[in-house]
Amino acid sequence: VVFGDASVRLFVKLLLNDGDVFGSKLTCELLNMVIILLDQMHEEVGEYRKDILKYIWGILKADNSNTKYIGYLAVSKFVAVFETPPKVILQVYRSLLRSHSSVERQNVREAMNLLLPNLHVRLEDPDLELALKYTVKVMHEVEDSLHRMAHFWDVVIRHAQLFERFKVEIVPYMKHAVSLLGSHLHSHPECRELSV
């Protein structure tokens, strides 16, 4: 084992005591290490899960665009491996759903791919219903931007089973989105592919 209990303890202590003084590049690398630990050693870091979530949440609240999306990826990985308060899950979901940064598209996509399959596992029915209703609400808002619309529909298509309950509300928006994403003269190839 390369990273034992003592190393985990030291790493978490470093995050909690000095995590907010590092620059954005080092913070991104620390977040990548957190993601690896959550993925490979979630049992070993289990006793520190509250501290790790607190660290990640602090990064998200700082609103540094360089670290924010890796933070969302880290918190999505956290949700995949640990019980997480519904309020945190819903807030992260809303933020990711509204996210449309073309620069961080891959991190957002990965975070959503981790988070969405776990919504029905981690959220009780009332909270899950709230998340899905919020999704329908965001449909109204994405019509003003092709990038936002493409991001939104990519999420819905990749996780269609989750949104099946709301197909009556979704289909009218889908028809409109297909025509906009596929026929716009300056559409990105990804948008046209999505419309197909």
Q: What confidence tens digit (pLDDT) does each residue in 96-145 have?
A: 988 866 677 888 889 999 999 999 899 998 998 898 888 888 877 766 66
> Contact, 162 vs 119, CB < 8 A?
yes
> Contact, 46 vs 77, CB < 8 A?
no
Q: How far apart (Å, rounded) are the C-alpha atoms in residues 31 and 58?
A: 12
Tokens at residue 10, please?
């030291």
Check residues 81 and 136 and name the one with the higher pLDDT.
Answer: 81
Q: How far apart (Å, rounded) are the C-alpha atoms in residues 116 and 156?
A: 10
Band of pLDDT at residue 153, cut at 50, 70 and 90: confident
Cβ neighbours, 10 Å, residue 96: 23
Q: pLDDT tens digits, residue range 17-27?
A: 766 667 888 88
Cβ neighbours, 10 Å, residue 109: 17
Tokens at residue 58, please?
């602090």
What is the pLDDT, as a whole number, of residue 111? 92
Tokens at residue 124, please?
């009780």
Give the list of residues 6+ apart from residue 114 with CB closer than 8 angstroms, or none.
73, 76, 77, 79, 80
Q: pLDDT tens digits, residue range 41-67?
A: 888 888 889 989 999 998 898 878 888
Question: Which residue is associated with the tokens 């996780």?
Answer: 159
What is the pLDDT, as a whole number, of residue 183? 62
